[in-house]
């Protein structure tokens, strides 16, 4: 099963990802392809896939299975369990959207960097969001959490900003009697 959802959720997940990228960002990021095996495992784990974070090659069965689940869930071809450029670029975009949404909703100081890494600062922000929403504080942004966060960010970003009202004049309009 893909991140705890059935196969019918795949189309919804891709739609959610594309919509979130339009709300928070005007397009997809440039190719990243700079993940070490440890960094890519951190991304997979942070997005809710069952992998141990190590810096060994991405060739063990557990990691290949998680990559295949990711590729299947996001309809990436081929589904081969290899973290090639297309798979890494897609993962990088998901992380960047997640970072933007967390920045919009939590307003952390300093803000999360708009990079493609799922590191300690990102995990702490996810835990903060989970705590704020009375969820188990795992630091893992599974699909359900990302969808909830996406909706919250859309609501915040979609609200009109307050416009200044007319200023009162310095002279009173009523004459003293």
Question: Residue 90: which residues within 8 A CB-CB, separation 6 or more?
Answer: 74, 76
Q: What is residue 34's predicted lDDT score, i.e. its pLDDT? A: 80
The DSSP output letter for 79 is -
Which sequence spans correspond to the domains of the chain? 9-158
Tell me if 45 sits within 8 A of 35, measured CB to CB: no
Q: At what angle do helices 120-132 and 143-158 cross, to 10 degrees?
A: 80
Out of 27-31, 61-65, 107-111, pick the least confident. 27-31
| Predicted confidence band of residue 159 (pLDDT cuts 50, 70, 90) | low
What single-letter DSSP state applies at residue 58? Answer: T
Which of 59, 46, 17, 159 shows the shortest CA–CA distance to 112? 46
- For residues 100 and 108, the answer to whether their CB atoms sit within 8 Å is no
Predicted pLDDT at 126: 98
pLDDT surpasses 80 at 68: yes
**Percent residues over pLDDT 90 in the chain:** 68
Predicted confidence at residue 165, as pLDDT, reads 52
Kindly report the pTM of this predicted structure.
0.72
């Amino acid at each position: 099963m893909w991140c705890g959802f059935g196969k019918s959720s795949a189309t919804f997940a891709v739609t959610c990802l594309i919509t979130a990228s339009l709300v928070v960002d005007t397009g997809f990021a440039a190719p990243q392809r700079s993940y070490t095996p440890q960094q890519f495992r951190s991304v997979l784990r942070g997005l809710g896939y069952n992998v141990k974070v190590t810096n060994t090659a991405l060739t063990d069965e557990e990691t290949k299975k998680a990559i295949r689940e990711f590729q299947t869930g996001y309809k990436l071809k081929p589904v081969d369990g290899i973290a090639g450029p297309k798979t890494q670029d897609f993962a990088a975009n998901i992380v960047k959207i997640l970072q933007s949404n967390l920045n919009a909703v939590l307003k952390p100081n300093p803000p999360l960097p708009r990079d493609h890494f799922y590191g300690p600062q990102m995990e702490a922000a996810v835990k903060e969001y989970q705590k704020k929403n009375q969820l188990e504080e795992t630091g893992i942004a599974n699909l359900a959490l990302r969808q909830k966060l996406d909706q919250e960010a859309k609501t915040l970003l979609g609200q009109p900003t307050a416009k200044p009202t007319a200023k009162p004049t310095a002279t009173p309009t009523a004459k003293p009697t």
